Amino acid sequence: MAATLEPGVEYVVLCGTGHEPVGFAPKAEVHHTSTPLHLAFSCYLFDTDGAFLVTRRARSKKTWPGVRTNSCCGHPKPAEHPADAVSQRLNEELGIAVDRVELVLPRFAYEATMPNGVRENEVCPVYRAVVDTRPVLRPDPAEVDSTGWVDWSAFVDEVLADPESVSPWCAQQVTALHPLGPDPLRWPVADDAELPAAAREPLVPHD
């Protein structure tokens, strides 16, 4: 666990059993066969017609390479609000700015293990992002292999019928999002007060 942060190193927030912040660790060192619980986020991007942007992870990714998944994932930096991290990551991975970012599943968390034993172990609030005009995408090839706009209801049906057609976190999130209603633009927005403590009350790194 890092007490102080080295310049130029990307860190993630480590979480305790109550999803409270307990420290930091370099992102490059976190994912392995004993991945510690840490803070992340997932985003589902829609246009104003309700079309959903599905992505395929770059084949160079350490976890679930080349697998279809939700629009964007990432890790908030220490002391960074997850909604701000969503906007930043959408810009970095897809080259776009969104019109709004809204919390929909504040307390989602999951574990998943790849066949080679590498684990994901994340406290992962889920956000909906919306663009008023479908943008020109500029995917970062180190992060995203391909993208496509799809009908949300058809995507949900596909994932519910075949959860292994997408990343394990996406499959679990779609199952949790489904009860919110068939129109993703009408999902209720959760309050930030519902976020886990690691996202709501971030530790401030030492200088």
Catalytic residue numbers read 73, 122
d(CA 187, CA 148): 22
d(CA 92, CA 74): 11
User: For residue 23, is it left (φ>0), alpha (ψ between -120 and 50) or beta?
Assistant: left
Query: Is the CB of residue 77 less than 8 Å from the CB of residue 85?
Result: yes
SS3 call for 2: strand
Instruction: Provide the 8-state DSSP code for 13.
Output: E
Output the six-digit token pair for 38: 């840490």
Q: Which residues contact 98 (CB under 8 A, 6 or more apart)?
A: 45, 86, 87, 90, 129, 130, 131
d(CA 56, CA 76): 21
SS3 call for 15: strand
Distance of alpha carbon 1 from its chain centroid, rounded? 22
Residue reference for tokens 């999902």: 187
